[in-house]
């Protein structure tokens, strides 16, 4: 039992939930299935490609690409937490058990929170590289990078534990139908038949602290970078720094903007109908675009990729000969 019975006899305690998803129309379900499958394949190929390229190219064994490889790993975990279940919902009954729903929320929240802190670590790396280049190799040591990454994962686990427990300790007897395509916080809170004010405040406080603290840190870092870049006399150097930082900020704005809108907007319960589209930005779109934004727009990555594509044909020719 998850709580006391509700007054309405039609309400039953939820041992499982029904994810309503995007549509009940069968003709559109096939279209959505193909679209999400294509997005998932592109996300896996793009992020796995980034990880493999960074691991195999010694020129990319730097702090920036160390964090980028883990960002790609988080994006793979992120997508794999949500999209496979969504694909399943398009072809079979849209039922998810209580335990699987809680696991999905925990996994999603862990990846989302960890990604916030990894993005902050990447912003600090850019700050040190551009604002303090003489101290960069000393400060950004392997020990510091590993410590920052471990802290990011630890913050993710702690935050998601608080997030998940504060939601799933509630009695879900209002309905079994989740007005969303995955087990997210606001739609789940809307199903509880108890007073959720404290839980909503707790979830908003945890998410707000993680998002706002890392947002402020990232903005301060990039404002310092911008100030330094504007003092660079070399046009080529200024363009390179601007290009790198601008692409990072596009991804950060998309990710953080949609997250803040979903979790910290006032009166989230009555206006969940737009939640699916907003959630698509930070759960589906951002993991797909990150390899493009952080890697394919990066000169070092493009050169490493070009060298790999040149080596493969030479290897094939040598084997044939």
pLDDT value at position 178?
Answer: 84
Domain regions of the chain by residue span: 16-308
Please give the average pLDDT of every successive group of 10 residues along the chain, which has 321 residues. 42 70 76 91 93 86 92 92 89 84 93 93 91 91 95 95 89 78 85 83 85 90 85 69 70 75 54 63 83 70 65 43 41
Fold annotation for 16-308: Rhopdopsin 7-helix transmembrane proteins (1.20.1070)
Where on the phi/psi map is residue 141: left (φ > 0), alpha (ψ -120 to 50), or beta?
A: beta
Q: What whole-number distance in Å separates Cα of residue 148 and Cα of residue 145?
A: 5
Q: What whole-number distance in Å separates Cα of residue 233 and Cα of residue 216?
A: 28
Q: What whole-number distance in Å separates Cα of residue 57 and Cα of residue 86?
A: 35
Say whether 147 sits in a helix, a strand or coil. helix
pLDDT value at position 146?
Answer: 96
pLDDT value at position 195?
Answer: 81
pLDDT value at position 275?
Answer: 59
Residue 126, C-beta contacts closer than 8 angstroms, at least 6 positions apart? 64, 221, 222, 225, 244, 245, 248
Q: Which of 235, 261, 294, 242 is nearest to 60 (CA)?
A: 294
Q: What whole-number distance in Å separates Cα of residue 76 and Cα of residue 52?
A: 13
């Amino acid at each position: 039992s998850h709580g006391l019975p509700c007054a309405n006899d039609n309400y039953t305690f939820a041992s499982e939930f029904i994810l309503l998803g995007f549509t009940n129309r069968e003709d559109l379900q096939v279209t959505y299935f193909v679209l999400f499958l294509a997005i998932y394949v592109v996300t896996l190929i793009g992020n796995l490609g980034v990880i493999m390229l960074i691991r195999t190219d010694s020129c990319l064994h730097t702090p920036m690409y160390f964090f980028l490889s883990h960002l790609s790993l988080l994006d793979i975990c992120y997508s794999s937490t949500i999209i496979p279940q969504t694909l399943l919902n398009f072809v079979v009954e849209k039922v998810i058990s209580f335990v699987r729903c809680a696991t999905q929320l925990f996994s999603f929240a862990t990846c989302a929170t960890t990604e916030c802190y990894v993005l902050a670590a990447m912003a600090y790396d850019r700050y040190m590289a551009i604002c303090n280049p003489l101290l960069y190799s000393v400060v950004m040591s392997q020990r510091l990078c590993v410590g920052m990454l471990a802290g990011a994962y630890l913050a993710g686990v702690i935050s998601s534990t608080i997030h998940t427990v504060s939601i799933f300790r509630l009695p879900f007897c209002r309905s079994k139908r989740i007005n969303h395509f995955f087990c997210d916080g606001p739609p789940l809170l809307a199903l509880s038949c108890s007073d959720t004010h404290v839980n909503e405040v707790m979830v908003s406080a945890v998410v707000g602290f993680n998002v706002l603290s890392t947002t402020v840190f990232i903005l301060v870092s990039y404002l310092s970078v911008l100030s330094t870049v504007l003092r660079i006399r070399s046009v080529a150097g200024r363009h390179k720094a601007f290009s790198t930082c601008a692409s990072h900020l596009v991804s950060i704005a998309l990710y953080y903007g949609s997250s803040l809108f979903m979790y910290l907007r006032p009166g989230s319960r009555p206006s969940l109908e737009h939640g699916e589209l907003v959630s698509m930005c930070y759960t589906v779109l951002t993991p797909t675009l990150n390899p493009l934004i952080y890697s394919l727009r990066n000169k070092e990555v493009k050169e490493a990729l070009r060298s790999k594509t040149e080596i493969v044909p030479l290897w094939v020719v040598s084997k044939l000969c």
